[in-house]
Amino acid sequence: MPKRTGPLEMRLWGDPVLRRPCVPVTVVDDALRAVAIQMLETMYNANGVGLAAPQVGRNDRLCVIDVPSDAEKEEYVEANAAIPMPLVMVNPEILTREGEQTDEEGCLSFPSIHAPVTRADKVSFTFLDQNGERRTYTAHGLLARAVQHELEHLDGHVFIDNLADKTPIAVKLDKLEAKTKRRLGL
């Protein structure tokens, strides 16, 4: 992979880029790999476990995930052991969803905002890796949650779209959106 060039600017709630569906990547090349490295660095710098291209202002169907085994619930560590971290996922798709889990979820584009979100407990997904090779895995627990979360970003959706009641976080959401729009001149 190309060498690191530094973290990217994180796009926050209120930035229209977070609502734009991404376009499929047509070529996996050194330029895309360089972006993936920057995305990983940005994600690690922010202590995240996943990051999608729109969160750094890009419109590519590209996301990165790195769920450390010590962050995963014990029952899922072995189930996810065959999935190499970090994942660089180009044009990812979820194939199947099973079960249900509800847990607190946050997002790097929504700093200090968390809410309970219900998602599938197990997902099978496919993508092209950083070398353009097709990969297919089945993930459980936090990794399954991260895959679903990041792929939603690629479709112009954000985690708060899954909340039945935004009331507990409404004030924080409104403040963040207003601050972001002021900064962007919107």
How far apart CA 133 and CA 33 sit, in angstroms, is 13
Question: Contact 1/146 with Cβ under 8 angstroms?
Answer: no
Binding site annotation covers 63?
no
> Has 114 been labeled as part of a binding site?
no
Pick the catalytic residue from 100, 150, 152, 177: 150
* Whole-number Å distance between alpha carbons of 36 and 182: 29
78 part of the active site? no
Residues annotated within the binding site for Fe cation are: 107, 149, 153
Residues with a known catalytic role: 150
Residues annotated within the binding site are: 107, 149, 153
